[in-house]
């Protein structure tokens, strides 16, 4: 299964038999069998009929459409959903179980911190000139791991504080892996103000929507998470799921710049916003699919396992209905 990325203006999509056909400038440019498609991501002006959206969803193909100024808006059509209501009942009940939520959150944060340390160790091997800064970050994250595992930690808010402090130390160290011309001095977003942050934001966004799709496919509500707080329109469970995977995106983005797949001339400034240009996006998407396949499989395994456990919990905690008098 693969994702089709469309970033060419005036592309038209049609369904021909059981294949998706691509037209540009009035000419048929190629086809992709629906059986091979997992999702379609549209970045530029793409034309398609509403009936095609319905057919793609019926075939289990999700559609992501970026629009608005600087692709700041996103519309999503999901493929098939799982229909076991017990999974969502269990999901809601676990939301009201603080001890379970803390165990879940610890697992996510400890996995994230462990992967952050691994990346910094790799960084020392590749950039020995940055050994001091990278080692300093590594040790700070190690202290955070100890605090996150401490039995006296009983509040998720405290865990969030530990994770946030570790993230600040991590990104200070991570910045040493990039050339000064990229101007990366820490994480910033909405808008990203430098090329590295622009690439990180795009990667996180795409991975987040992989998690959203995995949630729907497993019969879970991506809005109701356990580590990330509930907020209007925030897909908190999807954010939970990608938390330990973020360092993998960081590692991949570093490789793009290190190998000069992405260069400074692939980006442009629009006020305070750094934008990845079309040529850069082509390089990004060409590499992204190879990176995200194993993460997609992992997210699906995780959500299926979580969903089965939540359904079992719902059934175990559901009282039998009382008989009613006639």
Q: Along the 326 residues of the chain, how does pLDDT read in single tens digits? A: 688 888 877 888 888 888 888 888 888 888 888 888 888 888 777 888 878 888 888 888 888 887 765 555 677 877 667 778 899 999 999 999 999 999 999 999 999 999 999 999 999 999 999 999 999 999 999 999 999 999 999 999 999 999 999 999 999 999 999 999 998 988 988 889 999 999 999 999 999 999 999 999 999 999 999 999 888 878 999 999 999 999 999 999 999 999 999 999 999 998 888 999 989 999 999 999 999 999 999 999 999 999 999 999 999 988 666 665 55
Q: Is 259 annotated in some ligand binding site?
A: no
> Which CATH number applies to 2-77?
3.100.10.20
So what's the pLDDT on residue 266? 96
Q: Is 228 annotated in some ligand binding site?
A: yes
Domain assignments of the chain as residue spans, ordered by start:
2-77, 87-316
User: Do 2-77 and 87-316 show the same overall fold?
Assistant: no
Q: Residues 292, 211: contact at Cβ < 8 Å?
A: no
What does the DSSP 8-state code read for residue 227? S
Q: Which of 114, 175, 123 is nearest to 148 (CA)?
A: 114
Give pTM, 2 decimals.
Answer: 0.88
* DSSP state string for 24-65: ETTEEEEEEEGGGEEEEEE-S-EE--HHHHHHHHHTT-EEEE
Distance between start and end Cα atoms, the chain: 55
Q: Which of 82, 78, 73, 71 is nearest to 38 (CA)?
A: 78
So what's the pLDDT on residue 91? 95
**% of residues, the chain, pLDDT over 90:** 63
What is the third-level CATH fold of 87-316? Answer: 1.20.120
So what's the pLDDT on residue 72? 58
Q: Which of 179, 167, 320 is nearest to 263 (CA)?
A: 179
Q: Which residue in this structure is represented by tokens 């999700």?
A: 62
Q: Residues 312, 90: contact at Cβ < 8 Å?
A: yes
Q: Is 58 annotated in some ligand binding site?
A: no
């Amino acid at each position: 299964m693969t994702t089709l990325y469309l970033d060419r203006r005036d592309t038209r999509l049609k369904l021909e038999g059981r294949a998706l056909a691509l037209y540009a400038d009035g000419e048929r440019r190629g086809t992709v069998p629906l059986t091979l498609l997992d999702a379609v991501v549209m970045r530029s002006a793409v034309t398609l009929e509403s009936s095609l959206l319905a057919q793609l969803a019926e075939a289990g193909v999700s559609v992501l459409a970026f629009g608005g100024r600087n692709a700041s808006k996103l519309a999503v059509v999901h493929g098939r959903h799982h229909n076991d209501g017990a999974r969502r009942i269990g999901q809601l009940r676990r939301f009201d179980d603080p001890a379970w939520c803390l165990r879940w959150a610890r697992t996510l944060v400890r996995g994230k911190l462990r992967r952050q340390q691994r990346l910094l160790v790799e960084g020392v091997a590749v950039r020995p000139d940055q050994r001091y800064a990278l080692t300093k970050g590594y040790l700070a994250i190690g202290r955070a791991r100890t605090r996150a595992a401490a039995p006296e930690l009983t509040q998720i808010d405290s865990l969030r504080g530990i994770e946030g402090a570790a993230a600040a130390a991590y990104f200070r160290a991570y910045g040493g892996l990039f050339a000064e011309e990229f101007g990366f001095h820490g994480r910033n977003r909405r808008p990203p103000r430098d090329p590295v942050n622009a690439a990180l934001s795009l990667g996180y966004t795409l991975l987040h929507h992989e998690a959203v799709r995995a949630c729907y496919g497993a019969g879970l509500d991506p809005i109701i998470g356990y580590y990330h707080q509930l907020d209007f329109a925030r897909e908190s469970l999807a954010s939970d799921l990608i938390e330990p995977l973020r360092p993998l995106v960081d590692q991949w983005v570093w490789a793009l710049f290190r190998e000069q797949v992405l260069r400074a001339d692939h980006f442009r400034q629009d006020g305070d916003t750094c934008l990845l240009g079309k040529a850069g996006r082509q390089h990004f998407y060409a590499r992204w699919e190879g990176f995200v396949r194993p993460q997609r499989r992992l997210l699906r395994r995780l959500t299926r396992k979580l969903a089965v456990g939540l359904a079992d919990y719902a059934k175990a905690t559901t009282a039998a209905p009382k008989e009613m008098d006639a």
